[in-house]
Structure formats: C-alpha cells, structure tokens
C-alpha cells in the first residue's frame, strides 16, 4: 500500500510539470546614518582607483591626508565625537598644507591615521543576516565576492568594525582548503578562508552561500569603517575563491525570485533600498530604458560615448568607451573629456592636484550632467555633483576624470536614477526616481 501511494505520488508529480510558482520579492532598506560626517572626496576617489587597480595620481595621497585633517577640524568645531588614536607625526606636513585651523588637533596628537572616522561611522546601513549575525555590508554591483571582517582578524584590525564569528553560527560549514584573495594595484587587499552559511537579506535567503572570512585585510580596509565587508553583485565569473570559484548571492537566489532582477533605489540622505525579485513601477517615473550588458569583464557594463552639460548639445567623448554601473563606488569617474567639458561650465572650477581632483567654489550652481547609458541619455542632477567640502571655500566634485580606459558610474549616478539589474537577460534598466 505504501509503495502504491509512493508511485501515485510520483505519477502526480510527473503529471503536473508546472514549475513551482516563484513568488519571491524581497527588500533591504538602505538607511542613511544621521550621525555620519565623514565625507572625504579624495579618499572616495582613492578607494575607487584601488578597487579598479587604476594608477594613483601624484598628490592624491597628500590630498587624502589634507582632507582628513580638514574634516577632523570641522568635526571638532561641530562636536567632540572624533576618536583620537595613534599619532603619525608626518601629519604635521599635511597640517601645514591644510592651513592653520587644525593646530589644536595637532597639539592633541591627531595625525594622519586619526583620519579614521569614529566607530560605526558609516554613511549608509544595509543589514545582512549571516548565520544569525547581522552585519552592515556594502552592496557592490562592481565585484563578486561576499567577504566579511571575521573574528580571525586581530583586534587592531577590527576596531570600529562589526565582525562575523563562524564559531557563533549553528549553520556555518568550512569549505576545506578554499581561500579567497582580492588584491589591488597598490598592494592593498583582503584574503582569508571560506565557508558556507545561511545568508538572509530582507527575507531573500540562500542556505549555502559562500561567505569569505578575512584573516588579513590591508590598512585601507581597516581605516574604511564604512565596510564590514562587501556583498558582491557583479557576475560570478569575477569571484576570487579558489580552487572552486563560488557563485554570488544573486546567482544563488535568482531561481527563487519572482523575476531574475534586483534593483537599486538609492537616494541622497534618505531611505533607499535594494529589492530582489521585481522592478517596482512606483519607484520611477516614465518608461524604464533597458540596454544590453556587455558581460565580457564580469561587470554590469555598457557603452557610454556621449555626454551633455546642462541643456547643451550632446557631444561625443570617446567612441566605443565603456562604463560600468557600480553601487559599491561613491563617485562618478568619467572620460577626462567629459570632466573637462563639465567643469569648464562651472566658474572658477579647477583640476587641482593638491586637492586630488576637480574642485569648485562650494556656492556654485552646478549644471546637470547627461550621461550615455548604452545609447540613451540619463541625467545626473547638478546638486548631486557637489560631493564634499575640501576647505573653507572649495568643494570636491562627485564626478572626476578616470585615469584608465573604463568609466565608473557610482553612487552619485544612482542618486539621480533608479536602476534595475536583470540577470535573466543580462540587461540594465534605468529611469529617473519617482
Ligand atoms: C547616532 O547617535 C546617537 C547619539 O549618539 C545614537 O543614539 C544613535 O544610535 C546613532 N545612530 C546611528 C544610526 O548610529
Ligand atoms: C606615517 O605616514 C606616512 C605618510 O602616509 C607614512 O609614509 C609613514 O609610514 C607613516 N608612519 C607610521 C609610523 O605609520
Ligand atoms: C596658528 O595656530 C597657532 C596655534 O593655535 C596660533 O598661535 C597662530 O597664531 C596661528 N597662526 C595663524 C596665522 O592663524
Ligand atoms: C573557533 O573556535 C576554535 C576552538 O575554540 C578556535 O581554535 C578558532 O580559532 C575559532 N575560530 C574563530 C574564527 O574564532
Ligand atoms: C530584458 O528583460 C526586460 C524585462 O525584465 C525587458 O524589458 C528587456 O527588454 C529585456 N531585454 C533587453 C535586451 O533589454
Ligand atoms: C565589451 O567589453 C569588452 C571589454 O571591455 C570590449 O573590449 C568590447 O569592445 C565590448 N564590446 C562591445 C560590443 O562594446
């Protein structure tokens, strides 16, 4: 009887070939941290250059230090929340360059390394549950590793970070012999071992997601308390785990989603979200434009060879030029021709090596920038291009010239545009935010 029932069950299954109804739509909010005061243009630029192994221009390191010190002095005026730590006396040179406003900071032993923003100083918080532990991760459409600050790192390396401890997870399993290593042109990077655990992202759950545990991180990641790790959302071919390459969270979760998409609804100083499984029509205005993605390099990449400044004529920058949509980068890095033409329309804007890039008077009324996304023009609001103050008068541009043969459209782009990443047909959709 039991056997018969079993056979009946098989027959029933065979008779109903309809796939499991896919219903999954999941949302993770991306909340701005009201306490965040750490915007530093040159540091944001340096981070992007490192990520893409692009050459680091002379003067940028100095500009990073100078901006850090400016930032600290402004914070000390506004509040006393700056965490003071180890002194690096070479900071004195940067102090001199930065002007005299920071003399008090120097006296109390604030040098270059104190640039580290205070504990938990993150600009946006996107919580991810890994084996019951919640970490704020950087959702990064420009890479394909899910790596975290782990309990295997030294205390010195984890100050200001939240760490994942595999020993406190019921569901963690080590992948014997697996390692990961992400390295950048300047020698910075992260490396460690790999296991699987249940990763839950606003309800979208993968039970055996590869989670890469850092046992070593370079100083630049230690200093960047914005990151307790990254959640890579580019194509799995960029994943660095060896000997067996691992799939991204998106690739793993895709079969259980209503539609094979995730969307980035990122806003300036407001609650935004990443949503998996649908393109929410309430999030954008007009019709969404979809363009095919060039997956050769594993990025969400498309051609972008035209631009316009404000309501000016559409111009060609570089024929065939490629760009990628990267939620894990802050700034826009555009063809030098675009940056030059744009800032030429801003009175008194200059490309200042000492400041680390294009700067302009903070009270400038910046024009909009039109960028080409696979043949269709998308707008970036001028108000989003004023990124951070560098000194009493000048501000650092949120759009800078790329030093390499690839344009990177980061957060500044996403603030003006709602973007859909379609993994089903490898296309990218965009439209202005609702
Ligand atoms: C911001 O700071 C306040 C006061 O220190 C604290 O209570 C609050 O939790 C902080 N918010 C975040 C998101 O860190
Ligand atoms: C201090 O900072 C300078 C410039 O970044 C660096 O070359 C030097 O190694 C640092 N010294 C220490 C002790 O960290
Ligand atoms: C620079 O700071 C020092 C220490 O606070 C002060 O004595 C000096 O007058 C300042 N110089 C200028 C030019 O502001
Ligand atoms: C986990 O616990 C074991 C045994 O107590 C210890 O040897 C190991 O270092 C711990 N691992 C981590 C990542 O903390
Ligand atoms: C990909 O799928 C979307 C719907 O999710 C559709 O609008 C688009 O036209 C498709 N193809 C391309 C190449 O954009
Ligand atoms: C796709 O990307 C590769 C690598 O960036 C580039 O060489 C190629 O020209 C691109 N293809 C098209 C059709 O744009």
Tens of pLDDT, residue by residue over 291-345, are 999 999 999 999 999 999 999 999 999 999 999 999 988 899 999 999 999 999 9
Residues in a beta bridge with 325: 409
339 compared with 8, residue with greater pLDDT: 339
**Smallest CA separation from ligand 6 atom 11, residue:** 294
How far apart are the CA of 104 and the centre of ligand 3, in A?
Answer: 9
User: Mean pLDDT, to the nearest integer, of 7-23?
Assistant: 42
Determine if ligand 1 sits within 6 Å of the CB of residue 33. Answer: yes
Residue 96 has pLDDT above 70, yes or no: no
Please say whether the beta carbons of 384 and 419 come within 8 A. Answer: no
Which residue ranges does the chain devote to CATH 2.40.70.10? 5-36+82-276, 283-432
Distance between Cα 35 and ligand 1 center (Å) = 6
By most ligand atoms within 8 Å of CB, the mutation choice from 158, 167, 192 for ligand 4 is 167
State the ligand closest to the CA atom of 86.
Answer: 2
Distance, CA of 102 to chain centre: 31
Is the confidence at residue 83, as pLDDT, over 50?
no
Q: In whole angstroms, give the CA distance from residue 434 to residue 432.
A: 6
How close is the Cα of 88 to the center of ligand 2, in Å? 6
Q: Name which residue sits closest to atom 11 of ligand 2, judged by CA.
A: 88
Q: Which residue has its alpha carbon closest to ligand 6 atom 9?
A: 320
140 catalytic per annotation: yes
Tokens of 261: 């998409």
Q: Residue 107 pLDDT more than 80?
A: no
CATH top class, domain 283-432? mainly beta
pLDDT confidence of residue 93: 33
Q: Look over the chain and give the mean of its residue pLDDT values, rounded to a whole number.
A: 82
Q: Which CATH architecture has domain 5-36+82-276?
A: Beta Barrel (2.40)
Pocket test for ligand 5, best of 281, 300, 422, 424 (most atoms within 8 A of CB): 422
Find the mean pLDDT for residues 80-94: 32
The whole-model pTM stands at 0.80
Please give the C-alpha separations between residue 265 and each of 101, 372, 434, in angstroms, as whole numbers. Answer: 39, 20, 10
Q: Which of 140, 145, 368, 384 is catalytic?
A: 140
Query: φ and ψ at 46, to 5 degrees?
Result: -60, -40
Burial (CB count within 10 angstroms: exposed 0-12, middle 13-18, buried 19+), residue 122? buried
Q: Using one digit for the tens of pLDDT, what is the confidence trace for 226-256? A: 678 989 999 999 999 999 999 999 999 999 9
Of 333, 320, 357, the residue nearest 410 (C-alpha): 333
357-361 vs 350-352, strand pairing mode:
antiparallel
Mean pLDDT of 88-100: 31
Q: Which ligand is nearest to the CA of 113?
A: 2
Ligand 3 site, CB within 6 A: 100, 103
Q: Where are the alpha helices (DSSP H) in 79-159?
A: 91-98, 103-107, 155-158
In angstroms, rounded to a whole number, what is the distance separating the alpha carbons of residues 387 and 17? 54
Catalytic, out of 68, 121, 326, 411: 326
């Amino acid at each position: 009887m039991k056997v018969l029932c079993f056979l009946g069950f098989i027959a029933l299954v065979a008779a109903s070939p309809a796939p499991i109804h896919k219903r999954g739509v999941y949302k993770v909010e991306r909340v701005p941290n009201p306490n965040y005061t750490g915007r530093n243009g040159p540091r944001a630029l340096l981070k992007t250059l490192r990520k893409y192994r692009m050459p680091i221009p002379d003067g940028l390191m100095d500009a990073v230090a100078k901006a850090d010190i400016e930032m600290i002095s402004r914070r000390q005026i506004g509040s006393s929340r700056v965490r003071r730590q180890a002194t690096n006396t070479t900071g004195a040179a940067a102090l001199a360059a930065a002007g005299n406003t920071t003399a008090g900071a120097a006296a109390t032993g604030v040098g270059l390394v104190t640039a580290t923003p205070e504990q938990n100083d993150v600009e946006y918080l996107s919580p991810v549950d890994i084996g019951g532990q919640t970490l704020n991760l950087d959702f990064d459409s420009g890479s394909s590793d899910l790596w975290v600050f782990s309990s295997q790192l030294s205390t010195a390396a984890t100050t200001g970070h939240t760490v994942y401890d595999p020993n406190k997870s019921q569901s963690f399993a080590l992948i014997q012999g697996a390692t990961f290593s992400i390295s950048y042109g300047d020698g910075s990077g992260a490396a460690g071992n790999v296991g699987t655990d249940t990763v839950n992202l606003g309800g979208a759950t993968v039970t055996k997601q590869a989670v890469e545990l850092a046992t070593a991180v370079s100083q630049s990641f230690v200093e960047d308390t914005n990151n307790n790790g990254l959640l890579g959302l580019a194509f799995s071919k960029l994943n660095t785990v060896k000997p067996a390459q691992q799939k991204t969270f998106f690739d793993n979760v895709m079969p259980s989603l209503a539609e094979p998409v995730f969307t980035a609804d990122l806003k300036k100083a407001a609650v935004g979200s990443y949503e998996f499984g649908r393109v929410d029509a309430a999030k954008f205005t007009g019709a969404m434009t979809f363009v095919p993605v060039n997956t050769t390099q594993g990025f969400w990449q498309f051609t972008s060879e035209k631009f316009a400044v404000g309501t000016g004529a559409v111009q060609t920058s570089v024929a065939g030029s490629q760009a990628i949509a990267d939620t894990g980068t802050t700034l826009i890095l555009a063809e030098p021709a675009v940056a030059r033409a744009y800032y030429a329309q801003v009175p008194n804007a200059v490309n200042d090596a000492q400041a680390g890039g294009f700067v302009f008077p903070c009270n400038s009324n910046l024009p909009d920038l039109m960028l080409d996304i696979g043949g269709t023009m998308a707008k970036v609001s001028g108000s989003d291009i004023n990124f951070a103050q560098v000194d009493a008068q000048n501000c650092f541009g949120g759009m800078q010239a790329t030093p390499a043969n690839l344009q990177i459209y980061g957060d500044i782009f996403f603030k003006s545009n709602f973007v859909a990443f379609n993994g089903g047909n490898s296309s990218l959709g965009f439209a202005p935010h609702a």
